[in-house]
Amino acid sequence: MTYKLVPNYKTKESNMNGTLDAFMEQPATSPYSAKRMAKPVNFYCHARPDAQSVRLMGDFNDWNTTSLPMQQQPDGCWFVQVPLTHGHHQYLFLVDGEPEPDPDAAGFVRVGTFGKASVIAVS
């Protein structure tokens, strides 16, 4: 019996009566993992009508207050799409420089710097 390496897989071969009997055995550390795949997540903020700027910050961008500006839509809602990986992520909207949790969030947690943050689950 011999083992032949195929990219990221081992193929077990046995030559019995001139036939090739092979099967694939996935390694324990697969290069593909749904948990590491990012998927686009839409964030909507229904900020007050006189808001001049809205930004999104969270654990996915190290709470950076400038990296994710949101765009105001014709209906007045603010929008941004962010690629997020599988799991729970904490975030806040920054409306004219003031942090505000998302009232439509799946949940809330306490965070040291901002007090209360919204939680989104990505699967």
- The pLDDT tens digits of the residues spanning 37-50 come to 899 999 999 999 99
- Residue 115 pLDDT: 87
Residue 89: closest CA among 77, 71, 113, 107: 107
Per the structure, the count of domains in the chain is 2
- Does 22 share its domain with 50? no
How many secondary structure helices (H) and strands (E) does the chain include? Answer: 0, 11
25 with 63, same domain: the answer is no
**In the block, which residue shows the tokens 């997540």?**
41
Is 89 found in the same domain as 49? yes
116 and 66, same structural domain? yes
pLDDT less than 70: residues of the chain: 1-35
Considering only the C-alpha atoms of the chain, give the largest distance between any 2 of them, rounded to a whole number of Å: 80
Same domain, 97 and 48: yes
Query: Tell me, what's the pLDDT at 84?
Result: 96
User: Residue 94 has what pLDDT?
Assistant: 97
Same domain, 2 and 49: no
Which among 114, 74, 108, 76 is positioned nearest to 94, based on CA atoms? 114
Question: Are 50 and 80 within one domain?
Answer: yes
pLDDT at 40: 96
Neighbours of 57 (CB within 10 A): 21
Range of the domain at 1: 1-32
